[in-house]
Structure 1
């Protein structure tokens, strides 16, 4: 059995800061990591989509894990995204992340090639067998083209190092089935489902919006855990306008998060948010943070 929250409850899918020259900015990454933990994040997920993993090199990914690990200390869970469309490369990334100090690895479904379920299961087992740290599977069929089906998830749950799921499948019924039949810790990867998934037994969230509003997102879970479900619902409603602008406005979450943070540019093919979008984001952010979050 895994613990109910193997990496904590409130995890941030952290951006990867770049300097004005477009190169990795480890100093800013360290400062951001420390701030996020100080404002309520239990753990950090690095080198995911929000962290612009498609455009960072293997060496940059390893350097980021090492820098953040040193900055936040050993007590804060650090999970490293290692997914790719290539099983061999995924294993290489996973072993490098473990050596750099990651407490776990986030492994996305191989994309574009759309492997059948048996091949998908073999891929995840291959990675889990190659490392000594736990895995969080990343189920996001809208991007990868392939769902980790419920029966596949049930079989994978038997592996001792497959302990968690970042859930972006938009299938609350399927997720609830797996939660009820396994010890897998389900983390919402979609802000609008943070509270609903938590209410049916989820472990928490891995959030892009937490880059800019970590305390506010955590407050929703805290209220629920305190037994005040009405307050949890009220606080959750307050977060939705910013979450919608950041995650469902037509711009990637990386772009909108960086528009609200002093963390440098995005890498192409992404482009920075325009003035109108940035102004709207700032207005929604200011409205959210003006509320009482005591």
Structure 2
């Protein structure tokens, strides 16, 4: 069984002159491995996978897996390869089954799967969809409940039904329902990862397993320190760290993700400030605020 606890970063996809910047992507993987994050998410929403063709998606995943493994094999590294979750999205079950089959031979930690978007199926259809994908997967499945993007939420009864599947092990919780979050934590069968970054503190304090946090691209060590403080019972320390991170988290989502985080990373030389349409760069006003944040805080 995989362990999905800790701070996971849903990696951006860097671009340079319109093409994927694999050198920058490798540098980011090394950066986050050094920061002590628990794992990475490849091809999640933050990685703009909808703008990548199939070959680009495969190349991005290959680079991330290779960099995660290479870092663990380095002479000065005494750690295991950084686990990598892979986002699998869509609303056609058969096509997603084919993608799952492609991923089965790869050394990944699991697959992160959202509800079928746009079609808004009934809850019975959602259960059948996830069950078919989990049956076909050789890797653990992490559910992704994000109704503001998919148009349909995973109801609590649906989640509890899916929790009985032996390969469905965790959930990225973005639904914004405290009742559901607490019910899943109390149930105990799914590891609950905060997906809304401002809920990292409350989720971990309530007994959740960690977070998949896009805003942790910047100052990842502080997010790792937050998680450790809370899980070690150091509430005052965790509260201080979290309060210091709140302005960063708020700026990271002041405009559509991942534009703000790309602007912040670009301001400090990690990537170029490029996105693919229909996503656009952060506004000039927000970019100025992010650049000021980058100048006043350590990397």
TM over 0.5: yes
Contact preservation (8 Å) 2:43, 2:87: yes
2:298 to 278, 289, 293: 289
Give the CA deviation at 1:213. 2.0
2:286 to 277, 280, 290: 277
* Aligned twin of 1:34: 30
* Aligned twin of 1:175: 181
1:16 to 8, 13, 16: 13
Q: How does 1:152-231 map to 2 (within 5 A)?
A: 152-231=158-237
Per mean C-alpha deviation after superposition, the further-off stretch among 92-101 and 150-159 is 92-101
* Aligned twin of 2:130: 124
Cα deviation code 1:228-259 (max 9, x no counterpart)? 10111111011011110111x2x122101111
- Count of matched residue positions in the alignment of Structure 1 and Structure 2: 284
Contact preservation (8 Å) 2:4, 2:191: no
* Aligned twin of 1:143: 149
Where does structure 2 lack aligned partners over 5 or more consecutive residues? 70-79
* Aligned twin of 1:85: 91
Cα deviation code 1:101-140 (max 9, x no counterpart)? 3221000111111011000011111111111100000000
Contact preservation (8 Å) 2:251, 2:290: yes
Contact preservation (8 Å) 2:204, 2:231: no
Contact preservation (8 Å) 1:17, 1:24: yes
1:252 counterpart = 2:259: no
The separation in 1 between residues aligned to 2:92 and 2:47, in whole angstroms, is 19
Give the CA deviation at 1:93. 2.3
Give the CA deviation at 1:181. 1.3
* Aligned twin of 1:50: 46
The separation in 2 between residues aligned to 1:226 and 1:207, in whole angstroms, is 20
Contact preservation (8 Å) 2:5, 2:191: no
Where does structure 1 lack aligned partners over 5 or more consecutive residues? none
Per mean C-alpha deviation after superposition, the further-off stretch among 79-88 and 90-99 is 90-99
* Aligned twin of 1:59: 55
Per mean C-alpha deviation after superposition, the further-off stretch among 269-278 and 104-113 is 269-278
Runs of 4+ in 1 over 6 A off after TM superposition: none
Give the CA deviation at 1:199. 1.1
Secondary structure in 2 aligned to 1:138? strand
Give the CA deviation at 1:144. 1.0
The separation in 1 between residues aligned to 2:191 and 2:126, in whole angstroms, is 20
The separation in 2 between residues aligned to 1:253 and 1:95, in whole angstroms, is 29
* Aligned twin of 2:21: 25
The separation in 2 between residues aligned to 1:214 and 1:96, in whole angstroms, is 31
The separation in 1 between residues aligned to 2:5 and 2:202, in whole angstroms, is 18
* Aligned-pair Cα RMSD in Å: 1.6
The separation in 1 between residues aligned to 2:125 and 2:242, in whole angstroms, is 38
Per mean C-alpha deviation after superposition, the further-off stretch among 70-79 and 135-144 is 70-79
The separation in 1 between residues aligned to 2:191 and 2:212, in whole angstroms, is 12
Contact preservation (8 Å) 1:98, 1:104: no
Secondary structure in 1 aligned to 2:258? helix
TM-score (norm 2): 0.90
Secondary structure in 1 aligned to 2:138? coil
